[in-house]
Amino acid sequence: MSFKPFLQLAAEKKLGTAIRCNSLYKPFYKLSYLAALKNSGLMDRLRGERVAFERLAGDFISDSKTEEALIAWLQLGCRLGLLSKNDLGYSLKGLAKKLARRENDPTLALAQEVSSLHYDLITKTLTKLRTGELWDLDNQDAELTTRSSRVLEPFQVQALDRFIPKSGPCHLLEVGCGSGIYIRHAAITNPDFTAVGLELQKDAANVALENIREWGLQDRVKVEIGDIRTRPAASDFDMVTLYNNIYYFPIEERVDLLVKIRKQLKPDGALLLTTCCQNGNLGMEVLNVWGASNRHGGRLPSVQEMIEQMKQAGFQGIDTQRLIPGDSFYAFHAKR
């Protein structure tokens, strides 16, 4: 073996760049493979005991060539440290084994989202912009987003615990209720709590409705499909909440949106809004790209911009809380 090619690359000042770029490949391959394991159903099949190759082959092999391809694909998983193989067959290993656990599903869903939606946003947005196109909401998998959004749950419940009353009647309207997990948290905390969950996307509403039934909350919680901007003013809610969805609305429409939300509240009602803001982590930067390049949405707000828009809509006594130390995920609470 000769080191001459490496010396030549070093002399031409190419070696350092090649090494740095090469260091990016393995994390990319691992993330892509993890998402493919889940998307293909293999992660669920390999969650328990080892599975013989013959049992796996039934789902993927039609001839000798496809058998060769499956073996190569599984071999890559072993090289990445995500699969383990012995005489009994294959099983999950390392990070794949941990992500297969139910409690880690939000993290797994985010990995799936990064490898699909985030990848498309980075690689295809400029192509769209060249032809005057923007993304539509259908580039987002509603069920996947509902799962991945739960990575913020440990931080977001701080805002719920601080602002939602723990006793006494409280009728809440949640705009964009997702899985319904935050309604459940409030309902467990306060036995007199009732709510309406409003969802724009039918698929997401169905997920919420199924969860509400599973949790036995159907007598206290209703799920509606609709747009808050066209919902008749009710003025009968003690609180309206918007969790991580203000960027689904264009910047120039947000004040009007907040005015409509204010009309849903009782005279002594309050708004609780949480959102990622400008200058957050890299995931938030990608979310900022999604909002800015989406036909129906807008970029992430700055903290001060969000406060000013709430004031313009007539809200008072605005209180802000940073929910992730050192990052740009905030709660905004205001009185009607």
**Terminal-residue alpha carbon distance, the chain:** 75
Residue 216 in domain: yes
CATH number, domain of 326, equals 3.40.50.150
Which of 100, 120, 150 is a domain's end point?
100
Is residue 137 a part of any domain in this protein?
A: no
Contact 56, 70 (CB under 8 A): yes
pTM greater than the 0.75 cutoff: yes
Q: What is the CATH number of the domain that holds 61?
A: 1.10.10
41 with 162, same domain: the answer is no
Average pLDDT, the chain: 93
**232 within some domain:** yes
**Element spanning 320, H or E:** strand 316-322
Pair 159, 296 in one domain: yes
The answer to whether residue 115 is domain-embedded is no
**What is the residue range of 321's domain?**
142-335
**Is residue 173 domain-shared with residue 304, that is, in the same domain?**
yes
For residue 128, tell me if it sits in a domain: no
Identify the residue with better confidence: 219 or 202.
Answer: 219
169 lies in the same domain as 248 = yes
Shared domain for 157 and 92, answered yes or no, is no
Whether 22 and 90 share a structural domain: yes
Query: Over the stretch 22-66, which tens digit does the pLDDT of each residue have?
Result: 999 999 999 999 999 999 999 999 988 899 999 998 889 889 999
* β pairing state of 83-86 and 89-92: antiparallel
| 167 within a domain of the structure (yes/no) | yes
Q: What is the pLDDT of residue 9?
A: 67
Classify residue 128 as exposed, middle or buried by CB count within 10 Å of its CB (0-12, 13-18, 19+). middle
Average pLDDT, stretch 183-210? 91
pLDDT digits (tens, 9 = 90+) for 284-303: 999 999 999 999 899 999 99
173, 68: one domain: no
Task: Report the distance separating Cα 121 and Cα 55, nearest Å.
Answer: 37
Asked if residue 273 belongs to a domain, the reply is yes
pLDDT digits (tens, 9 = 90+) for 79-127: 999 999 999 999 999 999 999 999 999 999 999 999 999 999 999 999 9
The pLDDT of residue 7 is above 80: no
Number of compact structural domains in the chain: 2
Claim to verify: residue 243 and residue 327 sit in the same structural domain: yes
